[in-house]
Structure 1
């Protein structure tokens, strides 16, 4: 997304949700949204087929310490 598209999206969604962005928070919100859009573009670039199904449940595990 371009910076103008990000601003338009943030403005439209905040208005639709009734959220007022404080002027001192706006730059941070736009910066975070740009970062999130970059992450989404990376995920969106992976080709998926109907064979690729989401997991039924995610079960996190505690990381093990590296063996030396």
Structure 2
């Protein structure tokens, strides 16, 4: 995502959420979204096949009883 797209997204998201964004916070928020967009681009670049999907159900295993 280009910097202008990030600015547009942040402005639209803040307006949609009714979240006031102070001018002194804006550079940090934009930098965070720039970093997040970079991470997302790295993940999207990895080719995945259907068998790479995570399991649909997680079933935890209880710890063993003490002394067993």
TM-score of Structure 1 vs Structure 2, range by shorter chain: 0.7 to 0.9
| Structure 2 partner of 1:60 | none
TM-score by length of 1: 0.77
How many residues are aligned here? Answer: 58
Structure 1 residue 49: Cα displacement: 1.4
CA RMSD of the aligned region, Å?
Answer: 1.5
Matched, 1:42 2:42: yes
Q: Which runs of 5+ in 2 are unaligned?
A: 59-68
Q: Whose Rg is larger?
A: 2
Give the 4+ runs in structure 1 shifted more than 6 A: none
| Structure 1 partner of 2:11 | 11
